[in-house]
Amino acid sequence: MSADKPGRDARRDPDPADDIEILEVIGLEEDGTPKSDPDPDDMEVVFEDASGAPEVDAPPAPTGEEAALRERLVRLQADFENFKKRMDRERIDHFRYATADLVRRILPVLDNFERALASARPGGATEALIEGVTLIQRQLMCELEIEGLRAMDGVGEPFDPTRHEAVATDPDSPLPPHSVTHVFQRGYFLRDRVLRPAMVRVRVDDAGGEAAGDDGKES
Beta bridge partner(s), residue 190: 149, 193
Residue 49 has pLDDT above 90, yes or no: no
pLDDT at 165: 94
Same domain, yes or no: 159 and 122: no
Q: Summarize the confidence of residues 92-105 as an average pLDDT.
A: 80
Long-range contacts of 144-153 (CB under 8 A, 24+ apart): 146/105, 147/102, 147/190, 148/189, 148/190, 148/191, 149/188, 149/189, 149/190, 149/195, 150/188, 150/189, 150/190, 150/191, 151/186, 151/187, 151/188, 151/189, 152/186, 152/187, 152/188, 152/189, 152/198
pLDDT at 163: 94
Same domain, yes or no: 137 and 109: yes
* Cα–Cα dist 166/160, whole Å: 9
Same domain, yes or no: 187 and 162: yes
Residue 208 has pLDDT above 70, yes or no: no
Helix axes 100-119, 126-146, angle to 10 degrees: 180
Whether the CB-CB separation of 118 and 153 falls below 8 Å is answered with no
Find the domain containing 129 and state its range.
Answer: 100-147
* Cα–Cα dist 39/28, whole Å: 17
In a domain, 9, yes or no: no
Residue 161 has pLDDT above 90, yes or no: yes
Residue 148 has pLDDT above 50, yes or no: yes
Which pTM was predicted? Answer: 0.50
Name the DSSP class of 40.
Answer: G
Q: How confident is the model at residue 198 (pLDDT cuts 50, 70, 90)?
A: very high
In a domain, 214, yes or no: no
Same domain, yes or no: 167 and 197: yes
> Closest Cα to residue 164, out of 138, 137, 203?
203
Q: How confident is the model at residue 109 (pLDDT cuts 50, 70, 90)?
A: confident
Indicate the number of domains in the chain: 2
Taking all residues of the chain, what is their mean pLDDT, rounded to a whole number?
75
Same domain, yes or no: 167 and 128: no
